[in-house]
Structure 1
């Protein structure tokens, strides 16, 4: 997840920093592919269509995010890089919505889960459509929307607490905290390799929420 700050113009990182940025999320992309395979292989034999779909969407969103970020940082051509930056920022919305999907379709289910899923994906789609404008004129709003969209899970915290084991809740919440703490390094541009450090926080947040889905969401999705 590459939240490039308002001051982080295309091509502003040193060669060493871009290598670190590319490697951190390149590794994450490979881990995401492995994670999707693990989720599908550990799926309950009686898993319903919603559970399989939720796992596939979550896994695909991880792969998309980390692949987009890796390509953006790895390709030096500035013209191509500008296009990939839009894709990179858009992928963040996809990842956030994809992370919600298992909890919406499998854990919450019913009207609450369906409505939350529709709302989250609608906001994500709006963010993607507005991405070129937000990046040029209101990047701070872009970052704020990422955080607000990620934390609107608190609106359904009570039913989520009732449906998800406490360990799953803790992993989910810890992932959100790690994502949020990483923003400090994302914005702290004076620190060398701040963006690569941010990438590590993003990977950590993804890992925590992945384990919540793998061990506590999907096993409950038997048809």
Structure 2
């Protein structure tokens, strides 16, 4: 009887251990996914406030796009990294997780572009979303692409957005503050991407590793970017 109980306990422990493995077969740190899970409602609330404060319908729509891309990134990331899913659902959530970073970059520049003249806004939105569409196509079709490839793609698209910085600097609805905030956000995103690609520092692999540091950097970068969006909204009111 005791042997059976012991065998059952061992089997349960093995199942529990298996449930905590990531797609690469590595044990997940205890805090995997919780940074984004905690931040999800804060991002959602901030975007809703931005929509309410936006003075024109077009900017409200742009902030709604930002809300959708923000919620999709943080909520999906939390579900993907915390949950113990079957192989098929894990693959779907993983594809969405990789795609969401592209969507958030384009989603961020959508409301920020309202600080530019109409034609500048159209160009920025068209170029950013067009580039992201191509990146998404590659990402969805080649989910097993090397880590360095899609990490580099994130960084390239983020840096491409820096081309509008001079125009934001000259805008009466943006200026120095928005440029600094946007640049800081981009630097934080890039730093997080480098950490993710290099897999280090990895301070406490069983509790809080390199992936969690990457998530912290995305939250900090997001905080800078959404502050820039609020600045534009307040200047336009």
Q: Mark yes or no: TM-score above 0.5.
A: yes
> What's the C-alpha RMSD, in Å, of the aligned pairs?
2.0
Residues 148, 197 of structure 2: 8 Å contact kept: no
Residues 1:93 and 2:106 aligned together = no
Residue 234 of structure 2 is matched in structure 1 by 219
Q: How many residues align?
A: 208
Gaps of 5+ in 1: 1-7
TM-score of the superposed pair, with normalisation by structure 2: 0.81
- 1:170 to 2:180 alignment: yes
Q: Does 1:34 align with 2:45?
A: yes
| Whole-angstrom distance in 2 between the partners of 1:196 and 1:204 | 12
Q: TM-score, normalised by structure 1?
A: 0.85
- Name the counterpart of 2:91: 82
Which residue of 1 is the match for residue 8 of structure 2? none
Number of the residue aligned with 2:142: 134
1:205 aligns with 2:214: no
Q: Provide the rounded CA distance (Å) in 2 between the counterparts of 1:137 and 1:188.
A: 16
The answer on whether the counterparts of 2:169 and 2:176 sit within 8 Å (CA) in structure 1 is yes
In structure 1, C-alpha distance between the alignment counterparts of 2:49 and 2:26, rounded to whole Å = 35
* Counterpart for residue 186 of structure 1: 196
Q: CA deviation at 1:219?
A: 2.1
Does structure 1 conserve the Cα–Cα contact (< 8 Å) formed by 2:169 and 2:178? Answer: no
Larger radius of gyration: 2
User: In 2, Cα distance between the equivalents of 1:73 and 1:65?
Assistant: 12
Q: Which runs of 5+ in 2 are unaligned?
A: 1-20
> Which aligned segments of 4 or more residues in structure 1 are displaced greater than 6 angstroms?
none
Change (3 A) 1:142 1:9: farther
Contact 1:134 1:141 in 2 (8 A): no
Q: Spell out, residue by residue over 1:148-171, the C-alpha distance to the aligned partner (whole angstroms, 9 max, x if none).
A: 111112322221210122112111
Higher relative contact order (CA 8 A, sep 6+): 1
Residue 33 to residue 13, structure 1, CA distance change in 2 (3 Å): farther
